Structure 1
Amino acid sequence: MTKNYINPLIIQRADPQIYKHTDGYYYLSASVPAYNLIELRRAKTLNGLAHAAPKTIWRKHQTGEMSQLIWAPELHYINEKWYIYFAASKTTEFDANGMFQHRMYVLECEAVNPMADEDNWVEKGRVVTPIDSFSLDATTFSWKDSLYYVWAQKDPDIIGNSNIYISKMANPWTLKSDPVLLTKPEYEWENRIFHVNEGPALIHHGNKIFLTYSASATDENYAMGMLTIDEDKDLLNPSNWHKSNKPVFTSDLGIHQFGPGHNSFTTSEDGEKDILVYHSRNYTKIKGDPLYDPNRHTCIQTFEWDSDGNPIFGTPTAYNYE
C-alpha cells in the first residue's frame, strides 16, 4: 500500500534534499527564504519531517565570499564524515554577464550527529573549477569506488545561464578530472525566459543511472529534464549519456501545482518505494523576481518504473495540507 504523504511537506523551503541515513533518520536540507543560513531537520519518518524542528548549523559571513544568497544546501555522507555543498555569493549585484556571482562551497562535520552543534561544522572552502564563473547546485554521487561531482555553471562561450557538468573528485572538496559538459539548454522548454539547466540529482535503478535536472525560469515554466546512461558506461564520456527531448515532470494547472523542480531522491520508510522530492508553488501571480518569492514549498511523492526500467514520475501531487 502506498503511504499518504503530507504535501506540502515543508512550507517555504525551496531546493529540497532529503537524505535517508543508516542511523534510521531522514535529514532534510533546503534553501531558506532569507538565504542567510543553512539548517537541517531530521525525523524517523518522512511525514515526521513536517513537524521536526530545524537546527541552524551554519550562518553566512558578514562580508566577503559566503556573505550573500546562500542557495541549495545538500547533505552527503562520504567516508564516515558529513558534508554540505552549497552556493554563495559575495554580493547581490550581477556581474558583467548579467549573472549572480555565486560560487560553490563545502562544509565538513566529523560528529556522528550532524545536527549536534554549529561548532562541529568546518569550512573546507570553495570547490574550484577551471572557469571562474557563476556556479551552483552541486551534488555528489559515488560509483565504482569513485566519487563524482555534478553541478551547474555558466560558460561565457555558451548562450544561457547555466549548463550541467560532471567531474571525478580527488576528495570531497577538490576536483580530480576536467569538467565534462553533460547538458546545456537547447530545447524550447529549457529556454523559457531564461536558458537554464540546473539542480542535478542522480539515481541508480536496474542497469541504468539517471540524472534529472531543472530547466527554464523559476516560475511556472520550471520543469524537470532527464539524462540516462547504462551503468557499465564511462560517466565522463558525454556521448554515453542520452537526453530526453521532452520534460519528465511539469506544472499541472488543473491542481494548481506550478514550477515543480530542483528535485532529489530518497526511499520510503520500508525501502520499497522510490520517492521524488521537489519544490513547487500553488499560484502563478508572483510579484517581482520569482527567486525572492518565498512560497516554493517542499513536496514528496512516490513514483514507479516502467518495463524498460525508466522512471515514471507522473504529475505533481495536489496539496493536502496547508
Structure 2
Amino acid sequence: MKRITRIDFFNIQRTTAGVISKVLFALILVISSCGSNASDPTPEPPTVKRFVNPLVTGADPWIIKKDGFYYYTHTLGNRIELWKTTAVSQLKSVAGHQVFKPEAGKDNSENLWAPEMFFLNNKWYIYYTAGKGPDQTQRTWVLENENANPLNASWVDKGRIFASDADFWSIDGTVLEYKEKLYFLWSGRPDISVQNQNIYIAEMENPWTLKTPTKMLTAPELSWEVHGGPVNEGPEILKNKDGQVFMVYSASGCWTDDYQLGMLTLKVDGDPMEVSDWTKSTKPVFTKSPQNLAYGPGHNAFFKSVDDKEDWIIYHANTNSGDGCSPKRNVRAQRFTWNNDGTPNFGTPVHVNSPQPVPSGE
C-alpha cells in the first residue's frame, strides 16, 4: 500500500473541496431558477386605453348595440347614414354607409333630422324627422328593414307616423318598450300657431302606427327650459338595473349656450300614458361647462360598454360659446353612474381633448 504523504493529503482535500464547490454552485443555480418569479421585479400594469372627445363632428347622435356591434347615426340633413363599429371610442375611423335618401320634391325630401334606429319585432326601424323645406312642414317618418344587417339591405318607406289629434308639427321621435307594449314619444306643438315645443306620448299599434290619442308629458315651464324660447325636445329613454324608466329630454333653444338636459321619472310599475305617474326633475340633470369647453350639451342617447359593465351617455355640444345650432356641433361620450336612489348621475361634461378610459371591453 502506498503511503499517503502530507502533500498528497493536501492535494486530495483541495480536489474534494473544488468538487463540492462546483456541486453547491450548480444547486444554487437550480434553486434560483426555480424561484426566479419571486425575485423578479413587479410587472408593469397593462396600459389603459384612452380616447379624447369629440368623437366626430355632428349633432343629434343616436346609437344602438346589437350582437356585439354598435350602429351609430346622426343628423346629416339630406340623407341617413349608419356607422357600424365594435368600439365607440374609434368612431371617427369608421366609414358611414348611406341607407336612405328621399326622392327630391317629396314631403320628406328636406331637413332630415335626428334619425334613431330600433330593433322591434325582429325587424329594424328608423324614425326620422323631415319635411318639404319650411319648418312648419316637419313631420316624423318611419323606415323598415327585415334584414339582419341593416347596412346591407334596402329600407322600405312606411310613411309618416302620427296621431290625428296632434299632427301640426313633430320631430325627434323615439320608442319606449315597456311591459310588452310600445310607446312613441316626440316633440310637437299644440297647434300650428304656437311655437312651444312640448313632449307627447301615444301607445303604438305597431312600429309604424299609433293607436291611442296623445298625452302631453311635459311642457317648457321652468326657467332653465326657456332660454331662447320654450323648448322640450329630443326625448330619450333610459332604464336602470331594476327596470325603472326615465325620460331624458333637451330643454331651451339649441341656438343658445344653455341647451341642456332635463328628466322625467316614471313611478315604479307606473302607466306611461298616465301623466300623473311621471315626475319632472325641478333642476336640469346635465348642463354646460364653459371651463371644459362644453356649451349647449344635449340631444343625447345612451349605450352600454362592450362588456355591459358600464353605462355611457353620447351627446352633442359646442366647443365655443355662441356657435348655436351650427355645423360646428360635435359628438362626445362619457361614462355615467347611478345614485343610491336609482336615478342616473351624469356628472359634468368632460373637457374636450382630455384623455379618458375607453368603454370597458374595447
TM-score (ref. length: structure 2):
0.81
- Structure 2 partner of 1:97: none
Unmatched segments (≥5 aa) in structure 2? 1-46, 356-362
**Structure label with greater radius of gyration:** 2
Deviates more, 1:150-159 or 1:252-261: 150-159
**Larger relative contact order (CA 8 Å, sep ≥ 6):** 1
Aligned to 2:246: 210
Assess if the C-alpha contact under 8 Å between 1:46 and 1:269 holds in 2: no
Measured in 2, the distance between the counterparts of 1:321 and 1:10 equals: 15
Q: One-letter code of the match for 2:162?
A: V
| Other structure's SS at 1:71 match | strand
| Pairing partner for 1:123 from 157, 173, 181 | 157
Secondary structure at the counterpart of residue 56 of structure 2: coil
- Selected match of 2:230 from 172, 175, 195: 195
Provide the rounded CA distance (Å) in 2 between the counterparts of 1:122 and 1:80. 15
Deviation at 1:165, TM superposition (A): 1.0
- Relative to structure 1, the CA distance from residue 132 to residue 207 in structure 2 (aligned partners, 3 Å threshold; closer, same or farther) is closer
Deviations 1:107-128 (A, max 9, x none): 00111110114xx101000012
Distance in 2, Cα, partners of 1:144 & 1:87: 27
Q: Deviations over 1:175-218 (max 9, x none)?
A: 01111111000011101111100000011112521100001111
Equivalences for residues 80-229 of structure 1 within 5 A: 80-91=122-133, 93-94=134-135, 100-117=136-153, 120-129=154-163, 130-156=165-191, 160-205=195-240, 206=242, 208-218=244-254, 219-229=256-266
What is the CA-CA distance between 1:68 and the residue it aligns to? 1.1
Partners of 1:64 and 1:182 in 2: CA distance: 31
Q: Distance in 1 between matches of 2:92 and 2:188?
A: 32
Give the aligned partner of residue 29 of structure 1.
73
> Quick one: percent identity of the two aligned structures?
39
Task: Return the offset for 1:269.
Answer: 1.2
- The residue type equivalent to 1:271 in the other structure is D
For 1:141 and 1:308, how far apart are their aligned partners in 2? 22
CA distance in 1, matches of 2:220, 2:48: 35
Deviations 1:123-155 (A, max 9, x none): 000012222211000001211110111111011
* 2:70–2:85 Cα contact (<8 Å) kept: yes
1: distance between equivalents of 2:169 and 2:219?
15
Query: Which residue of structure 1 lines up, in the alignment, with residue 274 of structure 2?
Result: 237
Distance 1:10 1:157, change over 3 A: closer
Residue 166 of structure 1, CA deviation: 1.2
Q: Quote the Cα distance in structure 1 between the aligned partners of 2:193 and 2:215.
A: 14
Deviation, 1:321, is 7.7
Using structure 1 for the length normalisation, give the TM-score.
0.91
| Counterpart check, 1:76 vs 2:118 | yes
Match of 1:250 among 287, 291, 303: 287
SS in 1 for 2:166: coil
After superposition, give the CA deviation of every residue in 1:233-277 in whole Å (9 maximum; x if it has no partner): 111100010001111101001111100000111111110111111
- Give the C-alpha shift of residue 50 in structure 1: 2.2
Structure 1 gap segments, 5+ residues each: 95-99
Match of 2:346? 313
Q: Which SS does the other structure have where 1:48 is aligned? A: helix
More strand by share: 1
Partner AA of 2:152 in structure 1: A
Matched, 1:273 2:310: yes
Q: Which amino acid aligns with 2:55?
A: L
RMSD over aligned Cα, in angstroms?
1.9
Instruction: Give the Cα separation in 2 of the matches to 1:275 and 1:2.
Output: 18
What is the CA–CA distance in structure 1 between the aligned matches of 2:189 and 2:317, rounded to whole Å? Answer: 24
What is the CA distance between 1:6 and its match in structure 2? 3.4
User: Which residue of 2 is the match for residue 45 of structure 1?
Assistant: 87
Deviation at 1:101, TM superposition (A): 2.2
The range that moved more, 163-172 or 43-52, is 43-52
The offset of 1:24, in angstroms, is 0.8
State the partner residue of 2:63.
18
What is the distance in 2 between the residues matched to 1:102 and 1:158?
A: 14
Q: Aligned letter for 1:262?
A: H
- Larger mean CA deviation between 46-55 and 237-246 belongs to 46-55
Task: State the shift of 1:156 in Å.
Answer: 2.4
